[in-house]
Each structure stands twice: as C-alpha cells, then as structure tokens.
Amino acid sequence: MASFQTLPGFRDFYPEDLAKRTHIFRVWRQTAAAFGFVEYDTPVLEPLDLYRAKSGDEIEGQLFSFTDKGDRQVALRPEMTPSVCRLVGERAGSLKRPIKWFSIAEFYRYERMQRGRGRCFFQLNADVFGEAGSEAEIELVALLVQCHRAFGLTEADFYVRLSDRTLWLHYLGSLGLDEGRIRMLLTAVDRFEKQGDDAFAPYVSAHGELPAELKAKLLAFLGIRSFEALEAALGGTAATPAIAARLADWRKLLGGLESMGLSRFVQVDLGVVRGLAYYTGFVFEAFDRKGELRALAGGGRYDDLVAKLGGPDLPAVGFAIGDMTFSLLLQERGLAPQISHAPDVYCVIGGEAERRAAFGDIQRLRTAGFKVEYPLREVAFGKQFKAAADSGAKVALIYGSDELARGVVKLRDLADRTEREVPAADIEASVRGFFEGP
C-alpha cells in the first residue's frame, strides 16, 4: 500500500470526513442566504497575472503556478478576492446595489503545513460591493458572527476583533510620519502581538531607532480595546474633520451591531491591522476565545482593489472563513456534527423469489424518497437482522416465503422490536404510516 499518497498538504475526504465538511458548507450556505447574499463561483485556474496585479511578484512563491500547453502562465487560485472583483467589475454597471455575494470554494497555496493550515482548504467568502458606508461592515460582521453561532458556538468560544486602518493612517500621519515610515510601522504593529519588540527591528534598521515617546504612543494606540479609549486617544491630539467623520463611522458600526445584539461578540482592538494587503478601512479578524488556534476568519474594506484590477471605482468589504481552523474549533468544542448515513428502511429478504417481490417495493419506496437498504447477496436471516439493526434503520421489512404466500410483509420496529403484518400490495402506505406516526 501507500505507493501513491496524496500530495503534501492535500486531503482525502472519507465519507465521515466529507459528511462533516458538507454539514459546515450547508450551514454556511443557509446563513449567507438568510442574510440576502447570493452564491457565485469562479474558475479554479486563473491567469498568474491576476494575482501579481493584486499582490505583487513576491506571492508567486506561494502559488501553485505553471505554464499550460498554450504557453499561458496560470495558477491555482490562492484566494477568491481578485476573481470576484473581476466578476463584479465586469458587470458593475448593471448589477443592483448593494451587491451581496458569497462563495464556498477550494483554494491552493504552496505553503508549509501547520495545525489549521494545509496546501488546500475551503473558504466561505462573503463580500458587499457598492456600499461605501459602514452599513456594509455591519452586514458582514453580523454574517460572520452568525456563521459561527449557527453551529452552536457562543461568545465564550469566539469573538471578532475590530480595527481600522484609516484611523491608524490618520493617527500616524498626525505624528508627523511619512508614508514609508507609516507602512513599516503598520507592519510592525501587525506583528507586535507575536514578536513583541522584535517587530520593530525592520523599521529600526531602515529608519533608525524609534524615539521612546513615539514608541510609547504606538504601543498605547495598538493597546486600545474600547471605543471610548479610541475617542480619547484621537480627540486629545488633533480632532480633524476627517477623524471626527471617521469616529462617526465607528459609532454607526458599533451602534448597529449593538442593536443586533452582537456587542458581546465584537471587541474593539487596534492591535489588528492585517498586514499590508489591500485593506483601506475597517479590518476585522475572528479568533477563538482561548487563543489556542490561528485566526478563524479575516476581512476588511478594500475600496481600491476593483479599480486596481481594471474595473470601475467600486467600494468593497469582505471576509473569508477557512474550513480547517473552523473545523478544529468545532471539534474541540464537541460541536462537530454526528452525521448518520442510516437508511429509513432495511429490507430482510428470504431467498431469490422473495427478492424479486421486494425489489418492486424497494424501487417504489426509494422513488418516494425513503432511504432503503437491503443485502445485495443472499444472507442468512440472522445476519440480516443484525445488519438491519447495525444499519441504524428505523424499520425492517421482512420478505419471507410464509408471509408472501399470505399476501403480507412483516414490518418490524427496530427500536422496540415489535412486529406486525401489513398488506404486501401497498407497502408504501404502511411505511409512510409508520414514519408519520399514529
């Protein structure tokens, strides 16, 4: 065995694994639909330039990319955002606003495997296009929260950390920093939680030692964990009209989430900035409360990206939930679904003559939507009853020669082990009666 394995980082889904995955997707789909999002899909294989245009050349090392037989440079999609920007950009003029779309798709990244991260994974992507106001963020954060709650996860299990790159830019700008320094400092802020002071090393080697006063201000700002603290930090310095307007956006967002009853899932946290990326405003990440797992989901506003990829100016916000960390969390909280493949009906069949009689009923019952199972080969009755019980079926139909001679079939309740005889001529009515109750 094992002469052929899956490629590193790729996964086989045995039936019990696929059942869990399918359950997660089904709940995500239902939830997104309830929020008025509609589903789309895009090709797995895209032009390599699509990702270079968005993220630059350096991401190429993280892609499954190759040259196809038509000499085109292509890549397996590592994310959905550029593709969905293309779709929306192409029809931006004719799509009703707001555009609320979602997808559930598999992605591929050439990375080293770790807990919660492989080379292939699924994501729920949800985006709102065409709404520049923070109403779009309300909608998305609410959907993100519900996509977790729908599985039974509570505020004790996960939360959403909410931050704002716009305010970071205003704040750092108000401290007199130029664009290059601001970009490097945002990177440092992003890494500070994991690396501590080491996160500032790249900045120090590029721009010299960080003045103690500036560093203290930075650490204070990234330590902000409430809107009140945010207001205080900004109001005290230079409450420019732009900052005042931005704080109003924050009030709208937090107020909307509070009205939805979601405040306990949301934590203001300026320590989140989400790398360099393409984010332009609010950014947010979902984590497990215990802090044992990597991020569950991430998202934010990217108002410039549709235009950057050749489309019109179109404001956009979105997030993605990955399936791997999410599954781990469900598993650890004991919320992974118990999926049953049990049939409704198990047919116990005497011999070949009885089998021919049973086949008609089996076909009728299956056509009527019942899940019906029977032994493919002739098997001793004792085995069949055991198989019927093991299958998890609620009821067994017993096709014996004695019964059929009298024009009946035995219907056995596998739970309480009671039996009764029912007319062989209309099994479907009897089975239907059994499942619909007295």
Partner RNA sequence: GCGGUCAUAGCUCAGUUGGUUAGAGCACAAGAUUGUGAAUCUUGGGGUCGCGGGUUCGAGUCCCGUUGGCCGCCCCA
Contact residues for RNA, defined by CB under 7 A: 1-2, 5, 8-9, 51, 55, 59, 62-63, 78-79, 81, 109, 111-118, 191, 194-195, 274-277, 294, 298, 350, 379-383, 385-386, 388-390, 396, 398, 400-403, 410, 412-415, 417, 419
Report the residue number, 96 or 112, with the smaller CB distance to RNA: 112
Beta carbons of 297 and 107 less than 8 angstroms apart? no
Beta carbons of 166 and 274 less than 8 angstroms apart? no
Phi, psi of 99 (to 5 degrees): -90, 110
Report the residue number, 247 or 397, with the smaller CB distance to RNA: 397
Shortest CB 163 distance to RNA, Å = 13
Shortest CB 260 distance to RNA, Å = 25
Tell me how far apart the alpha carbons of residues 435 and 311 are, in angstroms, rounded to a whole number. Answer: 55
Beta-carbon contacts of 402 under 8 Å, excluding residues fewer than 6 positions away, are none
Tokens encoding 238: 């230079």
Shortest CB 389 distance to RNA, Å = 3
Beta-carbon contacts of 247 under 8 Å, excluding residues fewer than 6 positions away, are 230, 231, 234
Tell me how far apart the alpha carbons of residues 86 and 82 are, in angstroms, rounded to a whole number. Answer: 6
Tell me how far apart the alpha carbons of residues 196 and 185 are, in angstroms, rounded to a whole number. Answer: 13
Shortest CB 427 distance to RNA, Å = 15
Report the residue number, 1 or 212, with the smaller CB distance to RNA: 1
Report the residue number, 49 or 228, with the smaller CB distance to RNA: 49
Shortest CB 197 distance to RNA, Å = 12
For residue 282, count other CB atoms closer than 10 A to its CB. 24
Shortest CB 44 distance to RNA, Å = 14
Long-range contacts of 404-411 (CB under 8 A, 24+ apart): 404/353, 404/354, 404/357, 409/361
Report the residue number, 201 or 216, with the smaller CB distance to RNA: 201
Shortest CB 237 distance to RNA, Å = 29
Report the residue number, 109 or 170, with the smaller CB distance to RNA: 109
Beta carbons of 131 and 249 less than 8 angstroms apart? no
Report the residue number, 31 or 391, with the smaller CB distance to RNA: 391
